[in-house]
Structure 1
Amino acid sequence: MIVTVTLNPALDLTYAVDALVPHGTHRVAAVAERPGGKGLNVARVLHALGEPVLATGLLGGPTGDRVASLLTAEGVRSSFVRMVGETRRTVAVVDGADATGFWEPGPTVTPGEWSLFVAEFRELLGPATVVTLSGSLPPGVPIDAYASLIALASAANVPTLLDTSGPALLAGLRATPSLAKPNIDELTGVLSRQPGPQGLADAVRAVAAGPVVVSRGPAGLIAIAGDEVWECAPPVPIEGNPTGAGDACVAALARGLRDRTPWPDLLPDAVALSAAAVAAPEAGAFDPGIYRQTRPTVTPAGGNHARAHR
């Protein structure tokens, strides 16, 4: 069973309007809501793939209840620790041209609530085959929270996959997760030195002892694992909503980590599933037809001692 951790989940609300006018009054044509947060998107994609998955994290208040009920309605198993603070909401206002987002801050987690979650996490390591750790940290959670969870999982021989940003990413990398998947902007934000055109792999090795897969939008993925460097990209750009592409990538990588899938097979699968997520209307979903069509057309390049990328 793959366990997905989301410490700062949200209830995602989408308002559809004809046109967004600053300082104006708007009549909303349609409202959509779904469970939000990177780890919950990962769980929903894995569930849609037919993989055994359980979502965990921190939820509070009626908003947290709604997030849990939406997951249950989709058939996604969950085991959340309850907290006093109200789970945040994210609001996207979508018109014919673009989307405008409003992200509430997460609730403050008390030391006692964090201790309860750590205890729950220890219990879930028993049946876990892989743990994914995704998204931002809410206020009150220590900046090395992911590093602490990685250490617990490593002691239990459970592989970990880290997808976060900023100081939490840097602290997590130092704990040596089995795999990290930042996007290119998140990665460059924590590098000790900015890479030149051919220096990404060396810059990554300076901050990460373990394998790192970097997502680069339409340019695809680059994997750096010791002296191995692999690159993989979709054959043609996919138009749509890129919001959940990184989370779909994490879902594919988590499945591959569990199955010990080699890079030449793992990266094309992650690229294809990411492309299929872009073609879906919302994060946490993917287009099965695009996934099936794209997967056979993706070919990775690279291998051992790929010095051309260093």
Structure 2
Amino acid sequence: MILTVTLNPALDLTYAVPALVPGATHRVDGVASRPGGKGVNVARVLHALGEPVVAAGLAGGGTGARLRAELAAAGIEEAFTPIAGETRRTVVVAAPTGATGFWEPGPEVTAGEWAAFLAGYPALVRRAALVVLAGSLPRGVPADAYARLVEVARAAGAATILDADGPALRHGLAAGPDLVKPNADELAGLGAPPQRLGARDVVSSHGEAGLVASTSAGSWTAALARPLPGNATGAGDACVAALARAWCGRSRGRSASSTRWRCPRPR
């Protein structure tokens, strides 16, 4: 099983409009909603690919209840720790000329709520071969949260993939995750190669230029011959899901031709 952890999930809302005019009232042609946040997106892709997955994290309020209900309705096992604060929403207004996004800041997590998540986390990890830690940290969760979660996973014998940014990424690297998946901006912001900061292996994404993998077994690049058109939102999360699936495929003896991905060996 693959466990995904999303500490700051969101309910993603998309409003379709014929045109977006600042200062005007708009009639919405259509509304779409789906559970979101980086780890949740990874879980959704893995579930669509038929991989056993559990989505965990922190969720609260009516929005959090809706997010959990929509995951359950989609057949995705969820193990979110309830909190009092309201789970955030992301709102995208999509017009023919482009999309405009609005990201809510997310809830404040109390020390007791964070302790409750930590208390339940080891039992989830013991069921998992791999843990994906992804996304931003909500207010109240310590900056070294991912470092602690990596250490608990390692103690339980589970591998870890980390996809984060800023202080959360830097602290997480110090704990030695098996794989990190930064984008070009996140990579540049570190100021040093991730391996020097503690990561074992790195797959970085560079937009249309593709992916660069730097592992203990060697380095590779991969890119599409022709970039795909459309909105690239979520492409990084799909990449993380592919990496997670490949790792688990390797651990189950799946052939390289079926995974089509070189994946780091577990520790």
TM norm. shorter chain > 0.5: yes
Q: Displacement of 1:233 after TM fit?
A: 1.1
Matched, 1:55 2:55: yes
Contact 1:16 1:30 in 2 (8 A): yes
SS in 2 for 1:260: helix
Q: Which residue type is aligned with residue 181 of structure 1?
A: K
Q: Displacement of 1:135 after TM fit?
A: 0.4
- Matches for 1:1-310 after TM superposition, within 5 Å: 1-192=1-192, 203-226=193-216, 228-260=218-250, 265=256, 269=260
Structure-2 separation of matches of 1:104 and 1:186: 21
Q: Displacement of 1:229 after TM fit?
A: 1.3
Contact 1:131 1:158 in 2 (8 A): yes
Contact 1:59 1:82 in 2 (8 A): yes
SS in 2 for 1:149: helix
Q: Displacement of 1:226 after TM fit?
A: 3.6
Name the structure where strand makes up a greater proportion of residues: 2
Q: Displacement of 1:258 after TM fit?
A: 2.2
User: How many residues are matched?
Assistant: 259
Structure-2 separation of matches of 1:73 and 1:260: 30
Structure-2 separation of matches of 1:18 and 1:82: 38
Structure-2 separation of matches of 1:158 and 1:172: 16
Contact 2:178 2:199 in 1 (8 A): no
Q: Displacement of 1:205 after TM fit?
A: 3.6
Q: Displacement of 1:204 after TM fit?
A: 4.0
Structure-2 separation of matches of 1:204 and 1:56: 26
Identity of aligned residues (%): 57
- Output one character per residue of 1:113-169: Cα deviation in whole Å (capped at 9) or x when no partner: 001111111110111110000100000000010010000001111000000111111
Q: Displacement of 1:269 after TM fit?
A: 4.0
Structure 1: give runs of 5+ residues left out of the alignment. 193-202, 271-299, 301-310
- Output one character per residue of 1:15-54: Cα deviation in whole Å (capped at 9) or x when no partner: 1111111122111111111101011110010000011001
Task: Quickly say closer, same or farther: Cα 1:129–1:205, change in 2 above 3 A.
Answer: closer
Structure 2: give runs of 5+ residues left out of the alignment. 263-267
Task: Quickly say closer, same or farther: Cα 1:158–1:227, change in 2 above 3 A.
Answer: closer
Q: Which residue type is aligned with residue 223 of structure 1?
A: A
Structure-1 separation of matches of 2:111 and 2:28: 40
Contact 2:179 2:199 in 1 (8 A): no
Task: Quickly say closer, same or farther: Cα 1:48–1:27, change in 2 above 3 A.
Answer: same
Task: Quickly say closer, same or farther: Cα 1:212–1:133, change in 2 above 3 A.
Answer: same
Contact 2:58 2:82 in 1 (8 A): yes
SS in 1 for 2:190: coil
Task: Quickly say closer, same or farther: Cα 1:156–1:14, change in 2 above 3 A.
Answer: same
Task: Quickly say closer, same or farther: Cα 1:90–1:173, change in 2 above 3 A.
Answer: same
Q: TM-score, normalised by structure 1?
A: 0.80
- Output one character per residue of 1:212-270: Cα deviation in whole Å (capped at 9) or x when no partner: 100112211111124721111122211122111111111111112223379x959x846
- Output one character per residue of 1:267-289: Cα deviation in whole Å (capped at 9) or x when no partner: x846xxxxxxxxxxxxxxxxxxx
Structure-2 separation of matches of 1:127 and 1:27: 47
